[in-house]
Amino acid sequence: VTAGVEAVFEIGGEAIPRLMERIEERMGLLARGYGPALARHAGDTISAGGKRLRPLLVCLAAGVPPPENDDLVRAAVAVELVHGATLVHDDVLDGSALRRGRPTVVAAGGRRLATATGDLLFSRAFAELADGSYAPAAVRVLSAAASELALGELMQRADAWDASIGVERYLERCRLKTAVLFRAACVLGALAGGGSSERTLGAFGERVGVAFQILDDVLDVTGPPERTGKPRGADLLDGTATLPLIVARELDPSLAELDLRSVRTAADAQSVCERIEATGALSAARERALALVASGKEVLPALPERQQTALALVADGVVERYA
Ligand code: IPE
Ligand code: IPE
Ligand code: MG
Ligand code: MG
């Protein structure tokens, strides 16, 4: 996203870096403001970085240049805290040891601490929105997204070790676990900007969000770990069939027979990743994501021109990260 972000700053002006700075400060404050036991892990989760893609979407959905008001900051902070909470809990569910190149909260402090840290981040997010001018509507939007996220994570656990799931079910899972939060970021931005384009912006966010998850799943297969901050084939190791494998199974009968439970070591995962790659399934998955990004961009003409340009840059940035 980085290259595109600079171009976004050029179009959106100084307001964007100023807002991103305020958002960063506010998140740090909220994460640390609930006693030392949680502060360290919640604070580390926030300060470990991350691309801040969702806060950027909140800003741009509010307008380009965005209005520098507290409601916008609150919305962006809330969305990113929900994202952080989800990741902390996701790493418990996925048994992941690395996140953003660092040990996950569950790896560093165990399940109880990771559960509590995620809970704290969730609750801080909603408190942040509750104090804003758009409180009931904004809380409703984010709450619906967080609930769907939970459904998405449950769906993934329900499908664990089943390599035979179809594309439709996979896409629905991507929508639930990832795209609904992109949608919420755009809708909350629209609210904070006082505009009337919630539907357009929501549709844009959802399509780009599904594409984002597909590309993340492609990256899990391609690695390399230095780039992704997690081991290659991590999804396979926790029994998650994603689009690359779903497509590859149709192209290579030996992969169609693969029992995910037989993938036990990093070396096993690596070799399955290579077999998936050999089928050409990664290009097919990328194409699918590109088509979704294009369909997201199709709704943009309903928006003011500078906003169209900025959002299109972000959408392209999502793809470039994986080029
Ligand atoms: C990771 O999201 C989880 C997915 C939805 C694939 P990001 O890639 O936006 O995570 P950070 O915040 O930049 O680390
Ligand atoms: C994304 O799921 C996290 C959520 C949206 C809950 P993944 O499990 O695919 O993401 P990573 O690979 O852990 O970042
Ligand atoms: Mg995960
Ligand atoms: Mg997961």
Rounded Cα–Cα distance for residues 11 and 307 (Å): 9
Distance 68 CA to ligand 4 centre (A): 34
| 90 CB within 6 A, ligand 2 | yes
**pLDDT score, position 96:** 87
- Tell me: pLDDT of 1 over 60: no
Determine the distance from the C-alpha atom of residue 154 to the mean position of all C-alpha atoms in its chain, rounded to a whole number.
17
**pLDDT score, position 47:** 86
pLDDT in tens, 189-241: 999 999 889 999 999 999 999 999 999 999 999 988 888 877 899 999 999 99
Instruction: Return the ligand number nearest the Cα of 242.
Output: 2
Which residue among 81, 82, 83, 87 is best mutated to probe the pocket of ligand 2, counting the most ligand atoms within 8 A of its Cβ?
Answer: 87
Which residue among 44, 53, 208 is best mutated to probe the pocket of ligand 1, counting the most ligand atoms within 8 A of its Cβ?
Answer: 53
Average pLDDT over residues 9-32: 92
Local confidence band at 48 (pLDDT 50, 70, 90 cut-offs) = confident
pTM of the predicted model, to two decimals? 0.95
| 86 CB within 6 A, ligand 2 | yes
Q: Under a CB-based contact definition with an 8 Å cutoff, are residues 176 and 148 in contact?
A: yes
- Tell me: pLDDT of 270 over 60: yes
Residue nearest to atom 12 of ligand 1 (CA): 50
Rounded Cα–Cα distance for residues 162 and 4 (Å): 37
Q: Under a CB-based contact definition with an 8 Å cutoff, are residues 266 and 184 in contact?
A: no
Q: Under a CB-based contact definition with an 8 Å cutoff, are residues 185 and 205 in contact?
A: yes
| 240 CB within 6 A, ligand 2 | no
Q: Under a CB-based contact definition with an 8 Å cutoff, are residues 146 and 84 in contact?
A: no
Local confidence band at 265 (pLDDT 50, 70, 90 cut-offs) = very high
Nearest to 60 by CA among 1, 111, 108: 1
Enumerate the β-bridge partners of residue 103: 98
Q: Under a CB-based contact definition with an 8 Å cutoff, are residues 218 and 246 in contact?
A: no
Average pLDDT over residues 70-79: 98
Local confidence band at 109 (pLDDT 50, 70, 90 cut-offs) = very high
The DSSP letter of residue 197 is -
Share of the chain above pLDDT 90, in %: 81
**pLDDT score, position 192:** 96
**pLDDT score, position 94:** 85
Distance 76 CA to ligand 2 centre (A): 20
Q: Under a CB-based contact definition with an 8 Å cutoff, are residues 150 and 129 in contact?
A: no
Rounded Cα–Cα distance for residues 134 and 299 (Å): 25
Q: Under a CB-based contact definition with an 8 Å cutoff, are residues 89 and 153 in contact?
A: yes
Local confidence band at 3 (pLDDT 50, 70, 90 cut-offs) = low
> Judging by beta carbons within 10 Å of its beta carbon (0-12, 13-18, 19+), is residue 35 exposed, middle or buried?
exposed
Pocket around ligand 1 at a 6 A CB cut-off: 50-51, 53, 100, 178, 213, 216
For the chain, give the longest Cα–Cα distance.
57
Rounded Cα–Cα distance for residues 33 and 31 (Å): 6
Nearest to 235 by CA among 251, 216, 253, 259: 216
Distance 226 CA to ligand 2 centre (A): 17
Distance 13 CA to ligand 4 centre (A): 35
The DSSP letter of residue 14 is T
Rounded Cα–Cα distance for residues 124 and 128 (Å): 6
**pLDDT score, position 4:** 66
| 80 CB within 6 A, ligand 2 | no
Give alpha helix (H) positions in 15-69: 15-32, 36-47, 53-62
Distance 92 CA to ligand 3 centre (A): 8
Q: Under a CB-based contact definition with an 8 Å cutoff, are residues 295 and 267 in contact?
A: no
Average pLDDT over residues 125-130: 96
**pLDDT score, position 36:** 86
Q: Which residues of 163-199 are buried (b: 16+ CB within 10 A; e: fewer)?
A: bebeeeebbbbbbbbbbbbbbbbbbbbbbbbebebbe
